[in-house]
Chains A and B, each alone.
Chain A
Amino acid sequence: EVQLLESGGDLVQPGGSLRLSCVASGFLFLDYTMTWVRQSPEKGLEWVASISHDASRTHYADSVRGRFTVSRDNSQNAVFLQLNRLRGDDTALYFCAKSQLARRLFDPWDLWGQGTPVTVSS
């Protein structure tokens, strides 16, 4: 089955850290750019970060650059998002998503996971 499954979301205090994981199945993972998107009532849908198929290029939203790190392990069909120095406005449901075409960054996302919730609160 073609799917993405996120995990790792949790309740964390401001300033804390989390590592989100997204495991893919049903497609040739190593060929596709992967992206993290988050959704909150305050900001709606917000692109967070993307990583190229071979991990040679990463891109970040200004709001998370320097605090979040995206990585991938193609041998495990997994993409990760390390969240450091978390703030209240990072509270959101975090989705991973796959680019529609192989080795493309500027592309729609044709497969999404169900999301993993991150709550930043003391």
Chain B
Amino acid sequence: DIQMTQSPSSLSASVGDTITITCRASQDISNYVSWYQKKSGKAPKLLISDASTLESGVPRRFRGGGSGTEFTFAITALQPEDVATYFCQQSDSLPFTFGGGTKVQIE
């Protein structure tokens, strides 16, 4: 199975800050990584697919990058509504696997 190691597990930042989350895959998965936002009591929301493709309607302050085994997710100009847990997920091979999640809070 492909392990997705996500860090940090939590972070706190100020409104307007830029935050970055990293996901490392245990083997080369090309660009088959997606990033999801999970707010409490809400359905997960797909933000980025294919490592860097922003989904329709998602604000441009969300960004993704990387390939192979190293992937990054960033939020520039952090907003109060961005408080959530963010997950990476690989769709390169079965079983599909997720990172452990990063809980983002506002200071």
Chain B interface, DSSP helix/strand/loop, else mixed: loop
| Chain A residues whose CB sits within 8 angstroms of the CB of B41 once the complex forms | 114
Judge whether B95 is part of the interface by a CB distance below 8 angstroms: yes
Given A44-B98, A44-B101, A47-B97, CB of A109 within 8 Å of CB of B43: no
How far apart sit A110 and B47, CA to CA, in the bound complex (Å)? Answer: 9
Instruction: Verify A62–B95 contact, CB threshold 8 A.
Output: yes
Partner of A109, one of B38, B46, B95, B97: B46
Chain A interface, DSSP helix/strand/loop, else mixed: strand
| Chain A residues whose CB sits within 8 angstroms of the CB of B49 once the complex forms | 100, 108, 110
Stretch of B18-26, B67-75, B76-84, B86-94 on the interface side: B86-94
Task: Flag A96-115 by CB within 8 Å of B: 1 or 0 each.
Answer: 01001000001111101111
| Chain A residues whose CB sits within 8 angstroms of the CB of B98 once the complex forms | 44-47
Chain A interface size range: 20 to 34
How far apart sit A109 and B89, CA to CA, in the bound complex (Å)? Answer: 10
| Chain A residues whose CB sits within 8 angstroms of the CB of B42 once the complex forms | 114
| Chain A residues whose CB sits within 8 angstroms of the CB of B46 once the complex forms | 100, 108-110
Interface residues of A in 24-64 (CB under 8 A from B): 35, 39, 44-47, 59, 61-62
Q: Which of B41, B42, B49, B92 has the most CB of A within 10 A?
A: B49
Task: Flag A59-74 by CB within 8 Å of B: 1 or 0 each.
Answer: 1011000000000000
| Chain A residues whose CB sits within 8 angstroms of the CB of B43 once the complex forms | 4, 95, 112-115
How far apart sit A62 and B97, CA to CA, in the bound complex (Å)? Answer: 12
Shortest Cβ gap from A26 to chain B (Å): 14
| Chain A residues whose CB sits within 8 angstroms of the CB of B34 once the complex forms | 108-109
Task: Flag B93-105 by CB within 8 Å of A: 1 or 0 each.
Answer: 1111110110000
Q: What 7 pairs between A and B have smallest CB-CB spacing? A: A108-B34, A47-B96, A112-B43, A45-B98, A108-B49, A110-B46, A112-B44
A residues at B contact (CB < 8 Å) = 4, 35, 39, 44-47, 59, 61-62, 95, 97, 100, 106-110, 112-115
